[in-house]
């Protein structure tokens, strides 16, 4: 959260100042920037896109139980609660 905030605000404030205020190291921030996106995060983003597409195709009538069933019918293995979040 802190690093994401710094990334958003670095156009308006110096990174050094933001890191000092948020009590993080600059090296930690730059290491976070260079780190690849985690596989779970990528999968969560894909699930969110699929959920949004199914929901939009149903003319916003489907709730999470129906969206979950539709994803299962498409062969995607995803939990019901994860669909509800996404």
Q: Kindly report the length of the chain.
A: 86
Contact 9, 17 (CB under 8 A): no
Contact 47, 82 (CB under 8 A): yes
Residue 86 pLDDT exceeds 80? no
pLDDT single digits (tens) 4-19: 999 999 999 999 999 9
Instruction: Determine the pLDDT at residue 85.
Output: 86
Instruction: Determine the pLDDT at residue 1.
Output: 86
pLDDT single digits (tens) 25-83: 999 999 999 999 999 999 999 999 999 999 999 998 899 999 999 999 999 999 999 99
What pTM value is reported for the model? 0.68
Domain spans of the chain, in order of start: 2-34, 39-85
By three-state DSSP, how is residue 79 classified? coil
Q: Tokens for 2?
A: 């802190």
């Amino acid at each position: 959260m802190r690093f994401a905030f710094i990334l958003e605000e670095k156009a308006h404030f110096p990174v050094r100042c933001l890191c000092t205020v948020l009590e993080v190291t600059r090296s930690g921030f730059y290491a976070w920037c260079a780190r690849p996106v985690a596989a779970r995060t990528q999968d969560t983003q894909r699930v969110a896109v699929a959920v949004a597409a199914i929901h939009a195709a149903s003319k916003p009538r489907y709730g999470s139980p129906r969206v979950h069933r539709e994803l299962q019918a498409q062969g995607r293995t995803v939990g019901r609660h994860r669909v509800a979040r996404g």
